[in-house]
Structure 1
Amino acid sequence: MAQIRERTVLFADLRGSTAIFESLGNAEATALVTQTVSLIGQAVGECHGHLIKTLGDGLMAVFDSPRDGVRSAVRMHELLERVVARGKLQGGSPSLRALRMQVALARGEVVEMNGDCFGDAVNVAARLLDHAGDNETLITAEVLLGLPGMQKAKFRSLDRIAVRGRSEPVHVHVLDQPAQSGDMAATQFGEVVHAVEPDGIRLQWMELDRVFDIDNMPIVLGRSVQATYCITDGRVSRSHARIDWHGGSFSVTDLSYNGTFVRFGLDGEIVSLKRGSCTLHGSGVIGLGSPPIDASSPVVRFEVLHFADTEPQTMGSLRCRL
């Protein structure tokens, strides 16, 4: 018999499992991925949730309260970190040490029938995974509304994001991860100094030349017509990358399977992002799906702007269209 109830729906998905199959073979990889999914699934019961089903390298669960759902997501990340750390200590394969996870939660009425759940909240939570970066937890505004103040303070808004299958954008929030040994951009890509916070960012791909200010964040770059910045190239994923404003700077996060590549300046080193992020500064190019070394590749030029200091430098013969 079908029942309609208000539920917080959680989807979790492991990233990097394909590489494990390639390096370990089907039998060993299947056992490892199954064990890992089973381990992170323990967080559901620990936080008073109900595991609906496992999905190969992921799972779906429901919770009565948003608080328990978010607690479960945090616990899942902790459990996966233990698996990865243990793999490093024991000399596990590089693919095991590269495992990452995305979690997404939505809340609303769901139809519970024959041990499964259906409804808009289920669809939204599942599709939010497309917009999550490595080890990120995304939640909808409905989930945030049900959290106590201490938990709410740990999230920041990504504003409204177009979600596949939804006519209206969804207001999404991301769980801030604690900073590790300094700014990621400073440790990986050289020291980045922000004497004055930027005012906007300019993006140019072919004739699509636009400027976005910080109130327009986030910007989703992708092939989907619902993407903020639509790039109609078959090598680009529907939601390929996301540009955020946080902590006084712009950052780009890869959301794709083929990767995102950033090169600063005219001939700087190419930074490869595989479900990772980096801070954007100055100017350069973003390669979507392939490194920006082939003239035919889908490449977006970017320029971080300081309106008060100077006029943006030209990046071509086209005039900027706001």
Structure 2
Amino acid sequence: MASSRERTVLFADLRGSTSLYESLGNTQAAEIITRTVGVLTQVVRSQHGAVVKTLGDGLMAIFDKPVRSARAACEMQDAIARIMADAETGAASLKLRVALAHGEIIEVDSDCFGDAVNVAARLLEHAGDNEVLITDAVHAQLSRLDRQRFRCLDRLHLRGRAEPCKVFMLETWADDAPVSTLFSDFTDTPSAECLRLTVGGTHQTFTPQQTPVVLGRSPESTLCIDDTRVSRLHARIEWHGGNFHLDDQSSNGSFVRFANEPETVVLRRGRCMLHGRGVIGLGAPPDDPRAACLHFEIFSYATP
């Protein structure tokens, strides 16, 4: 008999299994994959969740409480890191994508259906490697501290849904790690590298200590770009590991064309390192004459 109730739905999907089979062969790769999915299942149960079904290289689970599902998602990421560290194979690491949605579901014959299931499955398509994405309905039911561990990615258009969905991404869950916010100060090793951005003939220069630089349609953005194809919080430029990186967080994507390079780098919820100089198209490729574009240049200044 079918029963209806509110639950948090979790989808988890492993990436990199194909290259693992190519590198290690069927026997060893299958052992690692099976062990990994088994560990993910144990994590679900440790947080009082229930595995509905395994899906090849992943699984679907349900939880009574959103906070339990969020903790499970974080523990899953930690488990993947431990498994690959113990494997000592030299193969490409497995990556895990996790998506959570909350709402009414219907349970029929040990399976689950409903809008929350559909939303979680579609949201998983937007998750990058080692990312945890949650809907606004999940985020709203977390504690105040736990909500601060996520940053908003604006509204995403999910496949098959007319209305966009407000989405948040996990930044950190460790209690001893500083909680990052969208407009917080970011400090790193001092560097002589600088970033110059040019929009509409206006130049602005940023040091690593002045990142993140937020690009978007929102007046709160570092650079506000008024264009319908640009999301409110479209992209961020951050300083990591001695380089500036562009991180797309939009619905329509970001497009990077480096000087003297014929190919355009397409970012859809992805990241790339900026080097030299070039042009960034927000929401459309730089070739589009109506695209909202800004030019960038990475340069060094002389230090004493």
TM-score normalized with structure 2 length: 0.68
- Residue by residue, what CA displacement relative to the aligned partner does 1:189-219 show, whole Å, maximum 9, x if unpaired? x9455247757479xxxxxxx9659982455
| 3-state secondary structure, aligned to 2:125 | helix
Aligned equivalents of 2:35, 2:28: Cα separation in 1: 11
Higher alpha-carbon deviation: 246-255 or 36-45: 246-255
Task: Please show how residues 167-246 of structure 1 align to structure 2 within 5 Å.
Answer: 167-177=162-172, 191=193, 193=195, 194-195=206-207, 200=215, 212=227, 216-217=231-232, 219=234, 244-245=235-236
Give the drift of 1:24.
Answer: 2.4
For the residues of structure 2 that align with 1:139 and 1:5, how far apart are their CA atoms?
Answer: 19
Q: Does 1:107 align with 2:102?
A: yes
1:300 counterpart residue number: 285
Among 106, 111, 114, which residue is 1:116 paired with?
Answer: 111
CA distance 1:199–1:159, shift in 2 (3 Å): closer
- In 2: Cα distance, 1:155 partner to 1:216 partner: 19
The one-letter amino acid of 1:121's match is A
Deviations 1:250-272 (A, max 9, x none): 733599xxxx9966433599999
Instruction: Identify if the C-alpha distance between structure 1 residues 116 and 81 changes in structure 2 by more than 3 Å, giving closer, same or farther.
Output: same
Q: 2:80 & 2:277 partners in 1: Cα distance?
A: 36
Q: Distance in 1 between matches of 2:143 and 2:292?
A: 43
Q: 1:280 to 1:61 in 2, by over 3 A?
A: same
Deviations 1:11-67 (A, max 9, x none): 000010111122223333222211111112211011111111111100110000110
User: What is the CA–CA distance in structure 2 between the aligned matches of 1:211 and 1:167, rounded to whole Å?
Assistant: 24
Hey, what's the Cα distance between the residues in 2 that align with 1:99 and 1:192? Answer: 34
Instruction: For residue 84 of structure 1, report the CA deviation from its aligned partner.
Output: 1.7
Q: Deviation of residue 276 (structure 1)?
A: 5.8
Q: For residue 94 of structure 1, what is the amino acid of its counterpart?
A: A
Aligned Cα RMSD in Å?
A: 4.2
| Aligned equivalents of 1:103, 1:192: Cα separation in 2 | 35
Distance 1:211 1:274, change over 3 A: closer
Q: CA deviation at 1:286?
A: 7.8
Q: Give the SS at the match of 1:61.
A: strand
TM-score (norm 1): 0.65
Q: Tell me which of 157, 166, 172 is aligned to 2:161.
A: 166
Mapped pair 1:149 → 2:164: no
**Conserved? CA contact 1:48–1:63, under 8 Å:** yes
Matched, 1:45 2:45: yes
| Cα 1:129/1:45, change in 2 over 3 Å | same
1:83 counterpart residue number: 83
Shift of 1:282: 7.8
For structure 1, list consecutive stretches of 5 or more residues without a partner in the other structure: 180-185, 203-209, 220-243, 288-298, 302-314
Q: Would the aligned equivalents of 1:264 and 1:284 in 2 still touch at CA under 8 Å? A: yes
CA–CA distance in structure 1, aligned partners of residues 104 and 273 of structure 2: 38
Sequence identity of aligned pairs in percent?
Answer: 45
